Amino acid sequence: MMRRAMDILAPLVLIAVLLGAWEAACRILEVPAYFLPAPSAVGAALVADAESLAVSAWNTLSMALAALVISSLIAQALALTVALSATLERAIKPLAVVLQVTPVVAIAPLVVIWAGIDNPERAIIALAAVVAFFPIFSGAVTGLKAADPDLERLFDLYGAGRIQRLLRLRLPSSIPYLMEGHKVAAGLALIGAVVAEFVAGSGGAQGLAWRILEAGNRLQTARMFAALVVLGLMGALLYAALTRLERTGLRWWRGR
Amino acid sequence: MTDAPVAELVSVEVDYAAGRALGPFSLALAPGEITALVGPSGCGKSTALRLLAGLEGPTRGEVRRSPRRGEIAVVFQAPTLAPWLTAQDNVGLPLELSGLKRAEARRRAAAALERVGLGHAIASRPAQLSGGMAMRVSLARALVTEPRLLMLDEPFAALDEITRRTLADDVLALWADIRPAIVFVTHSVEEAVYMASRVVVLSRGPGRIAGELSVAGPLPRPEGFRTTPGFRATVEAVSAVLAKGMQG
C-alpha cells in the first residue's frame, strides 16, 4: 500500500519541484516570456486556448488513429502474404526495410503531391501510416513464425494443411507479437502525424503541429508550450491505453 | 507366429552437420509392446523417436511404419499445449484437424479428459493447470485418436517424483484400454523398468544398442511392484548395461 502510494507520489513530487524551480528561475532571473515562459504562463495559455487545443488535439489524434488502422490492415495483409510464401518474403522484406529507414520528412513533399495539394490531411494520414507500418509488419512476421516448434511438429503429425496450420496455429501464436507491434506503432503514428503536419501543412484539419507553428511564428512561446503539453499528455494517455489493452488481450490469450 | 512390427528402424543412421547423431541402429516395435529407450544425453534417443514418428528422415537405412498419420501420437517433454485453447479444445485439436466435426471432436475430447481424471478441468486453459495436469491433457490429446503407435519423449522429466509415479501408472492404465505400441525415452532407469516390457539401452553418441533387456511382470504394474526383487534386479542389470554404454 505504502509502496503503491510512493510509486504515484514520487513522480508527482519531482514534477512539482521542477515546475517550482522553473517558475522561481523565470521570476528571479526575469527571463523574457518569448524565450522561456514561466509554468504559470503556460498554465494560463492552456486555460485560454483550451477549446482550440482540444479541437487540434482531436484532429491530430484522429489522423494518427486513421493512419494506425490503415497501416495495421496493410501490414497484416502483407505479413500474411509473406508467411505463405518464402519467395514473396524475400521480395517484400527489403522494400519494407527501405520504407522504414527512409525519413518521413524526405518523402513528405512527394506524398503531398500525390495526395493533392488541397488534401494535406490525406498526406498526413499517409505519412503517419508509413511511420506506423514497420513495427506492425515486423511484429506480425515474427509472430507468424513464432509458433512452438513442438506444436508445429504435432501439426505435421496430424497432417494439417497449410490453411489449417495458418488459422489454427500461426495466427493465434502471433497475437502477442501483433499487440506489441500495435502498441509501438500507435506512438509512432502520433509522432508521424505531427511531423507530417509540420512538413505538409494542415489545411482545414488544424492539428497540434499547426498550433505550435502558428504560436511560434508569433513568438507566443507560452502557447507553444501549452500545445506541447497537450501533445505529451495525449501521447502518454495513448500509450497507457494501449498498454492496458495489451495486458487485457494477453490475459485473454493466456487464459489468466 | 509373431505379429508384424508396428514400426521398424532398419540399420538407420542420422548425420547432422556436427557429425553422426545415431546409428547404425535397428529397432522393431511389436503391436501393443511398451519399449523404453534409455541412454546418456545426446545419444540420439529423441532422434530415434522422431524417425519412428516420421518427423525426420534417416540419412541412411530404412524406416518402416504400418500406422497412417492419424494413428501415430507423440507426447513431448513439455505438455506443448496451445495457450489460447481450453483443455477440451487442445485435446480435440487432432480430431478437428483430421476432419471430424467440432461438436464430435469436443465430445470425444471431454471423454478423453474424463479418462485422465480431468473431467472437472475441460474449460481450463493451460496456464491455469499444474505441470502434472497439463501433462495429463497432453496424454489425453495423444490418446484421443486411439493411436496404434504412441511415442513419449521424456514426458515426465520436468515433474516431481510423486507426480511422475502417478502419471506412469496413468499411462499404463490408459495403455491397457487401447493397447497401442508405446516407445518412450527416459533418463530414469527405474521409470524405464517400471513402465516397459522391454528396455533398450543406447551407448554414448552416436547411439547404438548397448544392450536390450526384457522386464518380467504384468502390465499395468501391481501395487508394490517397485519393491519386488525382480524389479530391483532388472534395474541393477539395466544400470550395469547403461554404465557400460556410457563408456561408448
Residues of B in contact with A159 (CB under 8 A): 69-70, 97-98
Which of B54, B78, B125 is nearest residue A150 as measured by Cβ atoms? B78
What pLDDT is stored for residue A202 in this prediction?
Answer: 63
Q: Do the chains contact at A157 and B83, CB–CB below 8 Å?
A: no
Q: Coil, strand, or helix at residue B110?
A: helix
Beta-bridged to residue B198, according to DSSP, are B35, B214
Residue type, B248: G
Shortest distance, CA A147 to any CA of chain B (angstroms): 9
Residues of A in contact with B82 (CB under 8 A): 151, 169, 172
What confidence tens digit (pLDDT) does each residue in B88-115 have? Answer: 999 999 999 988 999 999 999 999 999 8
What pLDDT is stored for residue B1 in this prediction?
Answer: 42
Total length of chain B: 248
Shortest distance, CA B189 to any CA of chain A (angstroms): 25
What pLDDT is stored for residue A205 in this prediction?
Answer: 65
Q: In this structure, what C-alpha cell is assigned to residue B69?
A: 498419420
Q: In this structure, what C-alpha cell is assigned to residue B61?
A: 537405412
Residues of B in contact with A254 (CB under 8 A): 83-84, 125, 127
Task: Name the B residues in 129-188 with CB < 8 Å from any A CB.
Answer: none
Beta-bridged to residue B20, according to DSSP, are B15
Is the model's pLDDT at B3 over the cut of 80? no
DSSP state of B239: H
Q: In this structure, what C-alpha cell is assigned to residue A191?
A: 509522432
pTM flag (> 0.95): no
Give yes or no for B54 touching A (CB within 8 A): yes
Cβ atoms of residues B195 and B36 within 8 Å: yes
The CA distance from A102 to A179, in Å, is 24
Shortest distance, CA B183 to any CA of chain A (angstroms): 16
Q: Average the pLDDT over B189-211 and give the result.
A: 90
What confidence tens digit (pLDDT) does each residue in B64-77 have? Answer: 988 887 889 999 98
Q: Do the chains contact at A153 and B128, CB–CB below 8 Å?
A: no
Residues of A with CB under 8 A from a CB of B: 148, 150-151, 153-160, 164, 168-169, 172, 175, 253-256
Cα radius of gyration (chain A): 23
Q: Do the chains contact at A168 and B97, CB–CB below 8 Å?
A: yes
* Helix, strand, coil percent values for chain B (each to nearest 5): 40, 25, 35
Beta-bridged to residue B202, according to DSSP, are B209
Q: What is the 3-state secondary structure (H, E, C) of B204-225?
A: CCCECEEEEEECCCCCCCCCCH
Which of A153, A160, A175 is nearest residue B97 as measured by Cβ atoms? A160
What pLDDT is stored for residue A159 in this prediction?
Answer: 85
Residue burial B13-43, b: 16+ Cβ < 10 Å; e: rest: bbeeeeeebbbbbebbbbbbbbbbbbbbeeb
Report which of residues B138 and B46 the model is more confident about. B138
Where do we find the cell 510423486?
Answer: B162
Q: Average the pLDDT over B188-193 and give the result.
A: 93
Q: Do the chains contact at B69 and A159, CB–CB below 8 Å?
A: yes
Picking from A148, A153, A158 by the largest number of B CB atoms within 10 A of its own CB, the best residue to mutate is A158
What is the residue-level pLDDT of chain A in tens, covering all 256 positions? 778 888 889 989 999 999 999 999 999 999 998 999 999 999 999 999 999 999 999 999 999 999 999 999 999 999 998 888 888 888 888 888 888 888 888 888 888 888 887 888 899 999 999 999 999 999 999 999 999 999 999 998 888 988 899 999 999 999 999 999 999 999 999 999 999 888 877 666 688 998 998 898 899 999 999 999 999 999 999 999 999 999 999 988 887 7
Q: Do the chains contact at B70 and A160, CB–CB below 8 Å?
A: no
- In sequence order, what are the residues at sequence separation of 6 or more whose Cβ sits closer than 8 angstroms to the Cβ of residue A54? none
Which of A148, A150, A158 is nearest residue B94 as measured by Cβ atoms? A158
B157 pLDDT tier (thresholds 50, 70, 90): confident
What pLDDT is stored for residue A42 in this prediction?
Answer: 95
Which of B55, B78, B127 is nearest residue A157 as measured by Cβ atoms? B55
B248 pLDDT tier (thresholds 50, 70, 90): low
Q: In this structure, what C-alpha cell is assigned to residue A135?
A: 513495427
**What ipTM goes with this model?**
0.83
Shortest distance, CA B235 to any CA of chain A (angstroms): 31
The CA distance from A181 to B149, in Å, is 42
Residues of A in contact with B97 (CB under 8 A): 155, 158-160, 164, 168
- In sequence order, what are the residues at sequence separation of 6 or more whose Cβ sits closer than 8 angstroms to the Cβ of residue A221? A33, A34, A35, A36, A37, A215
Give the helix ranges, DSSP H, for chain A.
Answer: 2-29, 39-48, 50-84, 86-101, 104-115, 120-144, 149-157, 162-165, 171-200, 208-217, 221-254
Burial (CB count <10 Å: 0-12, 13-18, 19+), residue A135: buried
Cα radius of gyration (chain B): 18
Whether a cis peptide bond, with omega within 30° of 0, leads into B222 is no
Ordered by where they begin, the domains of chain A are 49-254 (1.10.3720.10)
Report which of residues B128 and B21 the model is more confident about. B128
The CA distance from B218 to B137, in Å, is 26
The CA distance from A81 to A78, in Å, is 5
C-beta neighbour count of A252 within 10 angstroms: 12
Burial (CB count <10 Å: 0-12, 13-18, 19+), residue A148: middle
For residue B167, give the nearest of B198, B188, B146, B149 by alpha carbon.
Answer: B188
Give yes or no for B69 touching A (CB within 8 A): yes
Percentage of chain B lying above the pLDDT 70 cut = 99
Which of B69, B78, B124 is nearest residue A157 as measured by Cβ atoms? B69
Shortest distance, CA B202 to any CA of chain A (angstroms): 24
